[in-house]
Amino acid sequence: MKKIIEVKHLARVEGDGGIYVEIENDQVKKVQMNIFEGPRLIEALAIGKLPEEVISFTPRICAICTVSHKNVAIRSIERALKYKEDKKTYFARELMHLGEIIESHSLHVFALALPDYLGYPNVIAMVDKYEDVVKQALNLKKFGNKVMQILNGKYIHGENATAGGFGKFPTEKELLEIKKEAEELLPFSIAATDIVGVLELPDYLEEETVFICCNPADNKFGFWGDELIFSNGKVIPSKKYKENLIERTVPHSFAKRSLYKGKPFTVGALARLNCIGDRLKKEAGKKYKKYKNPRWLKNPLFNNLAQTIEMIYCLERIPELVDILLKLPTPEFEKPAKKRGRGVGTVEAPRGLLVHDYSFEDGYVTNANIITPTAYNLDDIEKYFKNSAFNLNKAGKNEDEIAFELEKIVRAYDPCISCATHLVKVVKK
C-alpha cells in the first residue's frame, strides 16, 4: 500500500517551501523538504562591490535575520581588512543582536509555533482564550524591534551599523528606556518558559544528532565567536567551517545542503543550549537547569523551549549592556588597515550558525560565500521527517495526521526559507 504525504505550501514559516513524503509497504521511500523560493544569486552579486555595499545589501537576504546578516558581514569584513574593533562599538553591536533574537524568538514561539500546540490556525485566533499571553508576547516582539530600530536606524534593514562603527550611537535616554523595558518584560519571559515547558512533546521522531554553534570567547554564553563548538565537545576555528561542514546541491531545493562527517546536524537555539547552555547564569540558568534533559539531544521539538530560555538570557543581558555602554566614550570611526585579505565571520542568527566569508583585492570583493542556518538544518529536518513518517504510519495514522505532525517539525526548526536560498560554494570572478 502506498501513502503520499504532501504539503504544497508550508504555513506559518518564512518563505515558500513544501513537504513531500512517500511511504510504500510501511517503508519510507522518499522524503523531501522542497524549497520553491527562487534563487537570488546574492553571492555572485557581491563580487566587485565595496565593503559598505555588501553590508547594505546582504542583510536583504532575510528580514527576520537582517541584523545577524549585518553583524556577520561586518565581522567577516573587519577580519579580512584588519579593522580595530572599539569596545563601545562591540557592545552596541551585541545589544542590536539581542534585539533581533528577542523579536524573532517571540514571533516564532508565540505566533508561529504555539498555535499548533494549543489547536489554533493563527495567533490572533488565540486572543479569545489567551489574550494576556498574546498581548504580552506582542509587547516582547515590539521591544525587540525597538532595540533594533534605536541601534540600527530601522527595525528591518537599518543602515546605522557598518564596518568601522555606527553612524550614530544611541543617546543616554534611549539606552535607559531600553534597560527599563527589558526589566519590565523579564517576568513575562520567565513565565512564558513555563507555558512552553509544560507542553508534552511526542517522541516518535527521536534520534540523537550532532548540534553545532558558535563558541563565544571566555567560556561565556552569547551569539558569536571565532570558533565553532559541537555537542560532543569538539571545537574548531570558524575559519575551517568549509572543511568540516561539506556542502552539496539536491534537485528538489534551491537551498544547498551540508553534512558533518557524512551526517546531518542541527543548529539553532536548542543547539546553543545543548553546546553551551551550562554557561547560562541567573534566571536563564535556573530555567535551563530545571528543564534540561537527555531528550534535548534527540528531539528538535524542544527548540521552542530553548528559545524561551534564550529570551530570558537576552532580557537579563540587556541591562548589563546598557550599563557598560553608558560608561564608554563614543569612538571615532575605525578605518581598514588593509585592502586585501580574507575574513570568515560566524554568528548565531536566531535560527543558528550563519557564515559570511569574503575575500578582497584592492578593496573590492573577489570571493563570497554565505551559508545560512536553515540550509544547515535541512538534512536533519528530512531525517526527522523520515523517523516520524515511519513511526506514525506504523501507528496507523492517515496522510493528513502525518502531514500535520511533519509541519510541526518544520515549524519547530523555524526555517527561514528566504535565507536558505542564498548559499553557495565559493564564487570566483
Partner 1 sequence: MKKKPTLGIYGFTGCAGCQLSLLDCEDELIDLFSAADIKVFYEAMSNNDDEALVDIALVEGSINTNKQLDELKEIREKAKVLVAFGSCANHGCVQAMALGDGKWEQRFKQVYGDAKFTVAIPREAQPIHKFVKVDAFIPGCPPSKIQMLRAITQLLFGNKPTYTNSPVCLECKFRENECLLNDGKLCLGPLTMGGCTAPCPTHNTPCIGCWGIIEEANHIAELKLLKEKGFKTEEIIRRFRMFGGSEIVEKIEKLLEVAK
Write the interaction track for partner 1 spanning residues 129-158; mark x where CB under 8 A is met and - where it is not: ---------xx-xx--x-------xxxxxx
The three cell numbers locating residue 145: 524591534
Query: Which burial class, exposed, middle or buried, applies to 106 when counting CB atoms under 10 A from its CB (0-12, 13-18, 19+)?
Result: buried
Near partner 1 in 89-118, by CB under 8 A? 107, 111-112, 115
Stretch that binds partner 1, among 32-40, 176-184, 274-282, 298-306 (CB under 8 A): 32-40
C-beta of 356: minimal distance to partner 1 in Å?
15
Stretch that binds partner 1, among 10-18, 194-202, 233-241, 345-353 (CB under 8 A): 10-18
Tell me: does residue 249 bind partner 1 (CB under 8 A).
yes
Between residues 249 and 398, which has the closer beta carbon with respect to partner 1?
249
Between residues 125 and 297, which has the closer beta carbon with respect to partner 1?
125
State how far the Cα of 402 lies from the Cα of 391, in Å rounded to an integer.
Answer: 10
Tell me: does residue 83 bind partner 1 (CB under 8 A).
no
Tell me: does residue 253 bind partner 1 (CB under 8 A).
yes
Of 28, 31, 49, 376, the residue at the interface with partner 1 (CB under 8 A) is 49
| Count of positions on this chain that bind partner 1 (CB under 8 A) | 70
C-beta of 415: minimal distance to partner 1 in Å?
12
Of 3, 30, 57, 176, the residue at the interface with partner 1 (CB under 8 A) is 57
Near partner 1 in 162-181, by CB under 8 A? 162, 166-168
Tell me: does residue 252 bind partner 1 (CB under 8 A).
yes
Between residues 65 and 301, which has the closer beta carbon with respect to partner 1?
65
Tell me: does residue 73 bind partner 1 (CB under 8 A).
no
Q: Which residues bind partner 1 (CB under 8 A)?
A: 9-16, 34-45, 48-50, 53, 56-57, 60-64, 66, 107, 111-112, 115, 121-124, 127, 138-139, 141-142, 145, 153-160, 162, 166-168, 249, 251-254, 407, 418, 421, 424-425, 427-428
